[in-house]
């Protein structure tokens, strides 16, 4: 009954949903009646008089069921992928590649910098045991290497941040344009209330949290977000 009330509101609304435009339906019913009479011309008039109303009632009943089913289904929007999966699925391939390359480069620079710092510690431990000019020169070389890698790290971090902004910007643009549709529960959540399609205009101020499960902004919040394409 709760789902019925959400779909129709009242019995009067229910009658309005299941009502037919008889002017548009009548020609099809007349054609079906003519075909049926032609097929049953050899059947006795009594059987024919009984069968035609029964078939008509059956068709009407099936039509009403289809309309009720469609109205009920409208209250449950289709869900999509979680945002952390949807972004990899729906963001443009070139922007996704830019982000992937920037992240990989950042990881490589971080790894090289960590190895260089370990190397410096190793050199200084040997220096404390056996001071020698060669070891001091080796230390200076490692320090210069670390300084160079630190500059590369700053550049890699900046490149990664820019790529991430492009990546999320493309996702937000698709949500604002309506090419992607987000679905979520309005916060505060109400027991029994289904998720709703988030209006595209609200993505002008909505942003995802770090886990990409909540979108909020300007006092509006949606929980358990999922994203689908406009076609589905």
pLDDT at residue 87, as a whole number = 85
Q: What residues does 156 pair with on adjacent strands? A: none
How many Cβ atoms sit within 10 Å of the Cβ of residue 81?
15
Least confident of 48-57, 64-73, 101-110: 64-73
**How many alpha carbons lie under 13 Å from residue 130 in its C-beta half-sphere?**
5
Residue 107: band (very low, low, confident or very high) from pLDDT cuts 50, 70, 90: very high
Q: Cα(94)–Cα(176) distance, rounded to whole angstroms?
A: 20
Q: Cα(224)–Cα(186) distance, rounded to whole angstroms?
A: 9
**pLDDT one-digit tens code per residue, 20-54:** 455 555 565 566 666 666 665 666 666 666 666 77
Omega cis (within 30) before 188? yes
pLDDT at residue 120, as a whole number = 86
Judge contact between 171 and 185, C-beta under 8 A. no
Q: Cα(59)–Cα(31) distance, rounded to whole angstroms?
A: 14
Check pLDDT > 70 for residue 18. Answer: no
Residue 14: band (very low, low, confident or very high) from pLDDT cuts 50, 70, 90: very low
Q: Cα(71)–Cα(74) distance, rounded to whole angstroms?
A: 5
Q: Cα(232)–Cα(87) distance, rounded to whole angstroms?
A: 16
In the chain, which residue ranges form alpha helices assigned H by DSSP? 2-8, 11-18, 22-39, 45-73, 83-90, 93-129, 133-177
């Amino acid at each position: 009954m709760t789902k019925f009330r959400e779909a129709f509101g009242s019995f009067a609304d229910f009658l309005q949903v299941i009502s037919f435009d008889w002017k548009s339906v009548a020609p099809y019913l007349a054609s079906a009646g003519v075909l049926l009479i032609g097929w049953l011309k050899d059947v006795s008039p009594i059987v024919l008089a009984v069968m035609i109303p029964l078939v008509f009632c059956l068709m009407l009943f099936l039509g009403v069921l289809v309309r009720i089913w469609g109205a009920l289904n409208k209250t449950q929007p289709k869900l999509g992928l979680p945002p952390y999966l949807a972004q990899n699925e729906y963001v443009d391939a070139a922007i996704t590649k830019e982000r992937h390359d920037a992240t990989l480069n950042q990881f490589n620079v971080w790894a090289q910098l960590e190895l260089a710092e370990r190397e410096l510690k190793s050199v200084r431990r040997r220096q404390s045991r056996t001071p020698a000019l060669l070891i001091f020169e080796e230390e200076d070389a490692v320090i210069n290497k670390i300084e160079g890698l630190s500059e590369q790290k700053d550049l890699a971090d900046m490149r990664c941040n820019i790529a991430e902004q492009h990546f999320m910007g493309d996702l937000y643009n698709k949500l604002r344009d309506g090419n992607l549709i987000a679905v979520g529960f309005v916060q505060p959540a109400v027991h029994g209330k289904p998720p709703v399609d988030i209006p595209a205009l609200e993505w002008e101020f909505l942003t995802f949290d770090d886990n990409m499960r909540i979108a909020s902004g300007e006092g509006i919040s949606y929980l358990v977000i999922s994203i689908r394409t406009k076609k589905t």
